[in-house]
Amino acid sequence: MLNDLKNKKVLILGLGKEGKSSFNFLRKLFPKKVIGIADQNPKVLSHYFCSGINLKKDKKVKLHLGKNYLKALKNYDLIIKSAGIPIHLPEIEKAFRDNKITSQTKIFFEHCPGMIIGVTGTKGKSTTASLIYHILKACPERSRRAHLVGNIGKPVLNLLFSATPKDIYVYELSSHQLYNLKRSPQIAVLLNVYPEHLDYYRSFKEYISAKANITRYQTKKDYLIFNSGDKIVREIAKKSKARKISFQGKNYTQDLEAAKKVAKIFKILEKTIRKAMKEFKPLPHRLELVGTFKGITFYNDALSTIPETTIAAMEKLGNRVETIMLGGFERNLNFKNLAKEILKSKIKNIILFPTTGKRIWGSIQRALRQKHMASHIEPFFVDNMKQAVKTAYENTGREKICLLSTASPSFSIFRDYKEKGGLFKKYVKQYGRKSQ
């Protein structure tokens, strides 16, 4: 396929982190080739967006920027699409039908001479991929180089220039990267599947189908490590041709269980696995202990953007959770089970962000009416993180826990989960330093 690129008109669709990597890869392969770039953002040539890429001096670039950027697709033979760009826009659907669209992931899978360990799941894939990589790196008996790539690590294409059969690539794979993939990794790790990204896919069924690509094209020589405690994962595993290795794990133990199973395939010694796991530093924004201030313990679980992981965080921390922060971007998730679990808990204060905060509170009120219960919960509707943290300090008792775990994506009032979690930690420490 790389040889085919030489004579094809190629367009890079989306100039984010992946798009810039794709451009540098193509320019290294073909120094004199005309390369098209399409992006909805008309200011994509600014210094901020173009860091790490030299476009202004490149005379062999054809730009298609602004609201009509998709009109350019019909003029190209091959489109390297960034994962985040929607798949169900009319122009993109036509390009899929015409077999024009590829991706970094697809190109890498078709040309990588080494071994790929693919890791996916609605939640937990970043920590699991990082832990697998950490164990492989820590192994004194290893003779192969390990790389962490994909969502959590480096964009992959430029690694093809130095890839060898002895390289191992631990690849964190989102559903977007798996969509339309026609090859599966030699070792696939499937953690869980919950309703998510329902604004990107036409249905939950389509989302499940994208996740299933991690094992759909595996052979009898390959391995599938899967969470047998997840019903949808079990159904996907039934159809797999790979050698199956199951584990059972909840949201905050599945990373350890899955990583151990991978390590066993490589015959890594038990003492090496234990040592690596002990030394592994948890990733931020995943049930991260911020600290205890004014007698209140604060946990940052900003990456918990679906009800299932918020429920898991509540279960993990137990009855000391007195205050929880919920709500965010609307993706039409179902909060019925979350409401039931909140009523079973010792939570007294719910701090609610727009937009889903009101709907979550509505689910709790309905659950109260169904159980004929009087409410023991106080709702606080806020518009920003500073107000939320101030409210938490004013209403949470000493020796209790305040948990940020919103059960909704971050995009209503925050740029992303990192900004949300970062602001939470900032104001927790800021108010914690103030006198009583």
Same domain, yes or no, for 19 and 164?
A: no
**CA 21/CA 364 separation, integer angstroms:** 46
pLDDT in tens, 7-61: 899 999 999 888 989 999 999 999 999 999 999 999 887 755 566 677 777 889 9
pLDDT on residue 72: 96
pLDDT value at position 436?
Answer: 47
- DSSP structure class, residue 38: E
d(Cα 201, Cα 166) in Å, to the nearest integer? 37
The answer on 251 and 375 residing in a single domain is no
What's the pLDDT tens digit per position in 213-247?
999 999 999 999 999 999 999 999 999 999 999 99
Beta partners for residue 351, in sequence order: 325, 380
Strands 401-404 and 296-300: parallel
**pLDDT for res 272:** 92
**What pLDDT is recorded for position 142?**
62
Which residues of the chain are under the pLDDT cut of 50? Answer: 435-436
Query: Both 181 and 261 in a single domain?
Result: yes
Taking the CA atoms of residue 418, residue 423, residue 426 and residue 429 in that order, the dihedral angle to the nearest 10 degrees is -110
pLDDT at residue 279 in the model: 94
Pairing of strands 296-300, 321-326: unpaired
Contacts of 274 (CB under 8 A, 6+ apart): none
- Regarding whether 321 and 212 lie in a shared domain, the answer is no
Q: How far apart are CA 256 and CA 253, in angstroms?
A: 6
What is the helix (H) or strand (E) element at residue 387, kind and residue range? Answer: helix 385-395
Q: Is the domain of 92 the same as that of 113?
A: no
Mark whether 322 and 202 lie in a shared domain. no
Is the domain of 227 the same as that of 364? no
Range of the domain at 27: 2-102
Whether the bond into 355 is cis, omega within 30 of 0: yes
> Which residues does residue 117 pair with via DSSP β-bridges, in sequence order?
170, 187
